Amino acid sequence: MASAPRPLPWILFGAFGTAALLGLGFWLDPVWWLMWLAPIPMLTAVPRLGFWAALLTAEAAWLGGTARIWAYLADSLETPPAFVIASAAVLTGLYTAATLLYRLLIRRGRHWTAFFAFPAGVVAVEYAGSLINADAGGEWWSLAYTQAGQTAILQLASVTGVWGITYLLTALPTAAATILAPGSEPRRGLGIAGVAAACLAAALVWGVARPADQGPTIRAGALALPAHADSLRIDTEEGEELFADYTRHIENIGARNDLDVLVLSEKIFHVTAEETGPYLDRWSDLAVRARIDLVLGLALDVGGDTYNAAVWIPSNGHQPATYFKQHLVPGLEDWMTASDTGPASIPGVGGGWSMTVCKDLDHAATMAEYGDEDFGLVLAPALDFGVDGWWHSRVAVTRGVEQGFSLVRAGQMGLMTVSDASGTVLAEDERFVVAEVPTGPVGTIYDRFGNWFLMPVIAALLGAVVLALVPRRDAERRVAPSTRTETDAP
């Protein structure tokens, strides 16, 4: 009789191995290539463990690997602790369920189904999270953004949104674990490896060949000067000093550079309804003197409410245009009012331009309106929280790939980022950048068909659940002798 394997080494390998890789790979400044390995220890371990040991391994791996993100939400964003705890519990539970489904399928001898099921389960968890947290987070939470610096992979977002990138990112390590799983056969392993390699090759070919001609270019910049706080009152000494600093910098930029548009950061000043007209006139005079169109982030009082606004101030002295932020940060922006007016069109070279504000770029459905209206350039005041500068800018860059627009984004405590419709970062710095940026829109499959990729993913997941509940007659004979423990269950 074959001796039962010791579970502790597999528990430690699966839990700590994946938690360590995930903790470094799924982070605000990720080690991107680790994500292509992260699930392997966990997926290798769980088919070799009893149910309760596998449950513990999966929960420890997912919770440990995402712990830094939860800490960031609680600390930097001041998210209520109850919300963080509940969200961590729900997402960890769902990720664990996807892992246990993989385990059960392997133990049923359904290796092909397991190979497709685990990536589908991870995508389904991300989608469920975007629905549960639709107002506050949108599509902010996704493994896909860890690959935002890899332009060839990022092009997949123009077809499938972030869902296809997450699927590919988890499918390759799933293939490796499935080939190594108990009961795996050489011919089946070769087939799984071939499908995984073909998917990666197809994504890379599309990433290299994707047409993204955006036509004419302009010189665009982003600027954020140091400030002790956001939403400074303009009638205070500190507010006047900061306005004077911006005036000097913008006049100097106008004298040195042939700059067409300059984006400033989010809610720099708080302006009352009575102050709005005269104050915007001061900025309009500055735009005319510098010969630069400006986009200014303000907290504006309008009709008894305070809105988080992006204000377009043209250099020809014409009337400003205003966009109000639609998705506010829970807790930190509870004193403001969300808008539902949609994007604001502004005139520009090469087609329509528009504005948005920071967190609105976390929401794929909101930004789909920009793709529908064929905006080729989006100008975005933003704030950020220091540690999340890379991550939040890359979430925004990914929206540009999905909807086919260039982006100029100014993150006050993050990064100044200029990118094109392929997600190529044309310029980036902590305080000031200038770049030649194309302004024409690029049509994308994702803009036209939306979340179409979720349909086959959810169908595959539901099919896998059904097959997992139906044991194969030869599964126990092929898998059980080398893997079962005395307390084991399928």
- Model-level pTM? 0.93
Judge whether 489 lies within some domain: no
Judge whether 192 lies within some domain: yes
Residues 352 and 464 in one domain: no
User: So what's the pLDDT on residue 490?
Assistant: 61
Residues 264 and 402 in one domain: yes
Residues 291 and 376 in one domain: yes
Judge whether 110 lies within some domain: yes
User: So what's the pLDDT on residue 54?
Assistant: 98
* Cβ neighbours of residue 205 closer than 8 Å, sequence gap 6 or more: none
Residues 70 and 102 in one domain: yes
Residues 165 and 232 in one domain: no
Judge whether 362 lies within some domain: yes
Residues 96 and 239 in one domain: no
Residues 197 and 329 in one domain: no
More confident residue, 462 or 135: 462
Average pLDDT, the chain: 93
User: So what's the pLDDT on residue 5?
Assistant: 62
User: So what's the pLDDT on residue 473?
Assistant: 64
Residue 284 has pLDDT above 70, yes or no: yes
Residues β-bridged to residue 306: 301
Provide, rounded to the nearest whole percent, the portion of the chain with pLDDT above 70.
Answer: 95
**Average pLDDT for 119-126:** 98
Residues 315 and 407 in one domain: yes
Judge whether 79 lies within some domain: yes
| Dist CA 393 CA 415 (whole Å) | 7
Residue 482 has pLDDT above 50, yes or no: no
User: So what's the pLDDT on residue 257?
Assistant: 75
Residues 401 and 329 in one domain: yes
Residue 319 has pLDDT above 70, yes or no: yes
Reduced 3-state DSSP string for 304-368: CEEEEEEEEECCCCCCCEEEECCCCCCCCCCCCCCCCCCCEEECCCCCEEEECCHHHHHCHHHHH
**Average pLDDT for 90-97:** 97
Judge whether 488 lies within some domain: no
**261 falls in which pLDDT band (50, 70, 90)?**
very high
Closest Cα to residue 257, out of 298, 212, 230, 218? 218
Domain count, the chain: 2
Judge whether 487 lies within some domain: no
Residue 486 has pLDDT above 90, yes or no: no
User: Which tokens belong to 12?
Assistant: 């430690």
Provide the domain limits for residue 234.
217-441
**358 falls in which pLDDT band (50, 70, 90)?**
very high
Residues 201 and 286 in one domain: no
372-431 pLDDT per residue, tens? 999 999 999 999 999 999 999 999 999 999 999 999 999 999 999 999 999 999 999 999
Residues 277 and 321 in one domain: yes
Provide, rounded to the nearest whole percent, the portion of the chain with pLDDT above 90.
Answer: 87
**309 falls in which pLDDT band (50, 70, 90)?**
very high
Residue 485 has pLDDT above 50, yes or no: no
**134 falls in which pLDDT band (50, 70, 90)?**
confident
293-308 pLDDT per residue, tens? 999 999 999 999 999 9
User: So what's the pLDDT on residue 480?
Assistant: 44
Residue 179 has pLDDT above 70, yes or no: yes
Q: With DSSP H G I counted as helix, E B as strand and the rest as coil, what are the percentages for the chain, rounded to 5?
A: 50, 15, 30
Residues 16 and 159 in one domain: yes
**4 falls in which pLDDT band (50, 70, 90)?**
low
**Average pLDDT for 74-86:** 90
Domain of 384: which CATH number? 3.60.110.10
**171 falls in which pLDDT band (50, 70, 90)?**
very high
**Average pLDDT for 340-362:** 90
Cβ contact 419:406 at 8 Å: yes
Cβ contact 132:378 at 8 Å: no
